[in-house]
């Protein structure tokens, strides 16, 4: 193991970046940024970089689903029904509670969400 570390420390970078097959990787011409990479997210926006329209759409879907369930639903069941990620359903539920579009009963994993009376 020690000999591998010594060899790696003394080898030129070109050798370390070369494929075992002998081909060399050239640095990207665009400053190291992948061509198909998404634009940078502005985390200071407070919405986690998620477009506002998409977050509002998820909340509306949650409200519609809850209106059809008089007994309410848990967050995990809502997430599976809508096919969204855990952070996405958490964000939608938080926004729904803040805007009073949904109400909750219970605590932690036993929390059940209901559509607010309109």
Q: Express each pLDDT in 30-69 by its tens digit.
A: 555 555 555 554 444 555 555 567 778 899 999 999 999 9
Please tell me the pTM assigned to this model: 0.57
Could you list the residue range(s) of the whole structural domain that residue 80 is in?
A: 51-115
Which residue's structure tokens are 């369930």? Answer: 69
**pLDDT value at position 72?**
95
Any domain includes 86 = yes
Q: What are phi and psi for residue 106, nearest 5 degrees?
A: 100, 180
Query: What does the mean pLDDT of the chain come to?
Result: 77
Higher pLDDT, 109 or 13: 109
The verdict on residue 107 lying in a domain is: yes
60-84: string of b/e by CB count within 10 Å (b at 16+)? ebbbebbeeeeebbebeebbeebeb
What average pLDDT score do residues 72-86 get?
93
In a domain, 31, yes or no: no
For residue 6, what pLDDT band results from cuts at 50, 70 and 90? confident
CATH number of the domain encompassing residue 69: 1.10.10.10
Task: Supply the Cα-derived Rg of the chain in whole angstroms.
Answer: 25
Q: Quick one: pLDDT at residue 22?
A: 55
The answer to whether residue 2 is domain-embedded is no
How many domains are there within the chain?
A: 1
Residue 37 lies in a domain: no
- pLDDT score at 10: 74
Are the CB atoms for 104 and 115 separated by under 8 Å?
no
Is residue 46 in some structural domain?
no
């Amino acid at each position: 193991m020690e000999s591998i570390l010594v060899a790696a420390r003394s080898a030129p970078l070109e050798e370390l970046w070369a494929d075992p097959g002998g081909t060399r990787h050239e640095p990207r011409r665009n400053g190291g940024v992948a061509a198909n990479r998404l634009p940078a997210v502005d985390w200071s926006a407070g919405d986690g970089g998620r477009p506002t329209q998409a977050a509002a759409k998820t909340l509306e879907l949650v409200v519609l689903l809850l209106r059809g369930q008089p007994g309410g639903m848990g967050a995990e069941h809502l997430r599976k029904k809508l096919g969204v990620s855990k952070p996405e359903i958490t964000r939608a539920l938080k926004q729904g509670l803040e805007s009073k579009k949904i109400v909750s009963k219970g605590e932690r994993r036993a929390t059940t969400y209901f559509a607010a009376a309109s």
